[in-house]
Chain A
Amino acid sequence: MRGALTLCLLLLAATLAALMLGQVRLSPALLWQGLSTGEGPGALVLATIRGPRVLTALGAGAVLGLSGALFQTLFRNPLAAPDIMGFTAGAGLTIIAAIALGLALPMPLLAAGGGLVAALLVVLLSHRRGHATPPLTMILVGLGIGFLASALSSFLLTLLPHTQATEAQRWLTGSLAARDWGHVAQVCGIGAVLAALALAQLRRLAALELGEDLAAGLGLRVGRARLALAGTAVLLAAAGVAVAGPVPFIALMAGPLGARITGAGRLPGRMLAAAGTGALVLVVADLAARAALPGIQLPAGVMTGLLGAPYLLWRLSREMEKGEL
């Protein structure tokens, strides 16, 4: 309970800081005036620039974090996450491809398609007839799919005219610059529906967590339940990518970090903690990215990359010590 409160306070503090800090600094008084009356310089900054940006970051971070925690629980492996397994890269590729080909399809649809195709490829490539695929095999195959998708995205960038390429490159890194209220509505709306779907499947996940045989003994159709959960998690990640680009490492870090902050032991608590922590990390990363160097706005993905890479190395070394790799 105290852990949940800590996370809420951290989220609140990060959100307020993200709303106040930036090229134009708002004092707490101006922020309050802007929030309560909708007038003054604060209101302008909040309504057009930082409000949508921060809320999009919160939404995208939450869906990515939840997606990562779902995968980690489903695969019983802390390295299982849509950003490691190539699903976010796949979602990013379809969006870049649509831009390059001049297709005007809705971003969430494109992202969902790319994520699902990447997931399908991972399943097909790691499948061996009559054998259960070890999670680590799927993770490594996913890593390969991710590299392939990133390489294709880079290739497509070279085909774009220079101005468009710079923008697309920025987006591919994972960026929250110039988001509007449409992005907020999109990620929150789609995110809420998918999160409800995921929560409705938590009892099945709780059974699957005990191993496939026990889950089957508890009356689950194991294959179907896994597929539905994995599909929901891929779509959650895609919803995040559609508004923030394939920001790396949020999904990977949010679950374990959230459990650490909140101390949540039970499954629903762990999932909520992962969503909250994903939101927290992305808001902080975005704030750091635009406030770290005066006059330069870095994409948020640069910051999560700087944060996430050491985490990944630490994780890998721990897994190696345990003999899992």
Chain B
Amino acid sequence: MSLDLHTSGLRAEGLSLGYAERPVISELSLDLPRGEMTAILGPNGCGKSTLLRAMARLLEPAAGRVTLDGQDIHRRDTRALAREMAILPQAPIAPEGITVADLVKRGRTPWRGLFTPWRAEDASACAEALAAVQMTAFAERPLGELSGGQRQRAWIALVLAQAAPLLLLDEPTTYLDLVHQIDVLALLRRRNREAGITVISVLHDLNLAARFSDRLVLLGRDGLVATGAPWEVLTADNLQTAFGLAARVDPDPVTGTPMIIPL
């Protein structure tokens, strides 16, 4: 059976998450086609991260399912799946004294069996990942000695070394200053455009999300508010529904993407 366009990519079908008595997300359906850069947005506590974790098979759904190219991700071999999708959690833990190179190497875990030695393709994947985040010069530096922005680039290099065509990131720009937020999003956009990687991330900043995304998923306290292109999603009505925010939406004078002006 050939894959039609409709089943290609990551998809949530009637997804309910959390406990039965206190659902975080209920009955959500979502289609995230391959090749797009998607941002998941919404107020604190609306279940953005929960949704992302479920899409990355880190959370078992209470009901419904998540499929990748039509197959339930919870029924797939987790290691085979790790070669197809990589996830960077919100607060990954850095072992004390670890160097950037050692960290990035661990991204190769799903490609290496018990007795597989370190191969040339592993080395080149790591070198490429480091180059993509412009951290080659910092490879031998301990992670703890780097700035917040550099550290985040090193973590992104780890998931890039995993060489999965689909990348999920939970708040990759939180704790970064504006310059580094733009830096990280531009880097992800480049990987999306140049290497065709599908990028799905949870973001906080609506204007940056609009600027760097093909598709937005806007969640409110009562579930999905809207999904689609930035101009379709970021309307005054939707912002009122999701955030309870009175705002005007104008074209960004530089990029023409929607720009939120709170009233």
Contact = CB atoms under 8 A, between A and B. Distances in A.
B95 A210 contact: yes
Interface string A178-189: 000000000000
A220 interface: yes
B93 to A, nearest CB: 4
B259 to A, nearest CB: 33
A216 B158 CA distance: 14
A217 B167 CA distance: 10
Contacts of B44: none
Interface stretch (A20-28, A169-177, A199-207): A199-207
Interface in B51-85: 53, 56-58, 78-83, 85
Contacts of B168: 217
A221 B74 CA distance: 12
Interface string A202-229: 0100110111011011111100000000
B56 A218 contact: no
Contact of A211 (B19, B79, B89): B89
Interface stretch (B35-43, B103-111, B175-183, B212-220): B103-111
A219 B107 contact: no
A200 B112 CA distance: 12
B112 A210 contact: no
A217 B102 CA distance: 18
A218 B97 contact: no
Contact of B106 (A76, A216, A218): A218
A78 to B, nearest CB: 10
A41 B183 CA distance: 74
Nearest to B113: A203
A139 to B, nearest CB: 17
A206 B109 contact: yes
B261 interface: no
B92 to A, nearest CB: 5
A289 to B, nearest CB: 33
A220 B78 contact: yes
Interface size band for B: 35 or more
Nearest to B85: A217
A310 interface: no
A265 interface: yes
B91 A217 contact: no
A219 B81 contact: yes
A136 B148 CA distance: 28
A219 B110 contact: yes
A217 B89 contact: yes
B183 to A, nearest CB: 22
A224 B158 CA distance: 23
A200 B116 CA distance: 11
A266 interface: yes
A206 B112 CA distance: 13
B114 interface: yes
B202 interface: no
Contact of B87 (A200, A207, A209, A213): A213
A219 B83 contact: yes
Contacts of A210: 92-95, 103, 106, 158
Nearest to A211: B93
B107 A218 contact: yes
B95 A219 contact: no
B109 A207 contact: yes
B99 interface: yes
B87 A214 contact: yes
B91 A211 contact: yes
Nearest to A209: B95
Contacts of A216: 57-58, 78, 87
B115 to A, nearest CB: 8
B32 to A, nearest CB: 17
A76 B13 CA distance: 37
A141 to B, nearest CB: 22
A265 B98 CA distance: 7
A50 to B, nearest CB: 38
Contacts of A265: 97-99, 102, 142
Interface string B218-262: 000000000000000000000000000000000000000000000
Q: Which 10 A-B pairs have the closest CB atoms?
A: A219-B82, A219-B79, A217-B87, A213-B89, A219-B110, A211-B93, A218-B109, A209-B95, A214-B92, A207-B109
Interface of A: 73, 76, 130, 200, 203, 206-207, 209-211, 213-214, 216-221, 265-266
30 contacts: A73-B95, A203-B114, A206-B106, A207-B106, A207-B109, A209-B93, A210-B93, A210-B94, A210-B103, A211-B89, A211-B93, A213-B58, A213-B92, A214-B88, A214-B92, A214-B93, A216-B57, A216-B58, A217-B56, A217-B82, A217-B85, A217-B86, A217-B87, A217-B159, A217-B168, A218-B82, A218-B110, A218-B162, A265-B102, A265-B142
Given A210-B92, A217-B168, 4 more contacts: A206-B109, A210-B103, A217-B56, A219-B79
Interface of B: 19, 53, 56-58, 78-83, 85-89, 91-95, 97-99, 102-103, 106-107, 109-110, 112, 114, 142, 158-159, 162, 168
